[in-house]
A and B are shown apart, each in its own frame.
Chain A
């Protein structure tokens, strides 16, 4: 399975989108890469959205937060395996902006549609390819008990 995420963290990242609605929420998925190229999520770290100029349709995670999260993850023997954000009243499908701003090849980009304040659909996409020919592909995910 490409991405395994505990049910509790899945619920948590979806609820984050409900709390921030009508603005986009964002966060980092921390976990482990397995030998087969799959990912197991161990934590979903909520982050602030620095796009206070347009939070209803844009998100940006401060690099300073990413630095801290990456450092703490590596100290714990873990890694950044992906990111999540929400689409208020928009489909859980990556946009051209999402692709343009995606640079973490090999990581998952999880998107939740939040309609009128309620999380509806959550999809995961895997970023592949080098910067000038990158693409986001549908990624299967599995919910685990823990």
Chain B
């Protein structure tokens, strides 16, 4: 089923400059795979060489971090919004 993925500013150059991309998926994992299939340049910015999400990349299904759901196995429905959010931190 189609669901929307919100693309953050730093990843838009690799996603055709789009801020919202529609993918076809039944799970979060399928959504991210479809996203990378549509825009292959995104792959290395989202995933490590082992195929796992990079540590500073957070993926939220609506308002919940997928790490606290079923991660890639988390089911999605048509009204869901997937947000990709790189972390923001720092200090002196």
Contacts and interface: CB of A to CB of B under 8 A. Distances in A.
Interface residues of B, number: 24
B64 to A, nearest CB: 8
Nearest to A83: B88
Given A67-B83, A104-B8, A24 B91 contact: yes
B84 to A, nearest CB: 9
Interface residues on A, range: 35 or more
A33 B9 CA distance: 10
Contacts, number: 98
Interface in B5-34: 6, 8-10, 13, 19-20
A131 B65 contact: no
Interface of B: 6, 8-10, 13, 19-20, 45, 54, 56, 58, 60, 63, 65, 81, 83, 85-92
Interface of A: 24, 26, 28, 33, 51, 54, 57-61, 63-64, 66-68, 70-71, 74, 79-81, 83, 85, 87-88, 90, 94-95, 97-98, 100-107, 109, 127, 130-131
Contacts of B87: 60, 63, 101, 103
Nearest to A47: B88
B73 to A, nearest CB: 20
Contact of A105 (B10, B19, B54): B10
Nearest to B56: A103
Chain A binding site: helix, strand, loop or mixed by DSSP? Answer: mixed
Contacts of A94: 90
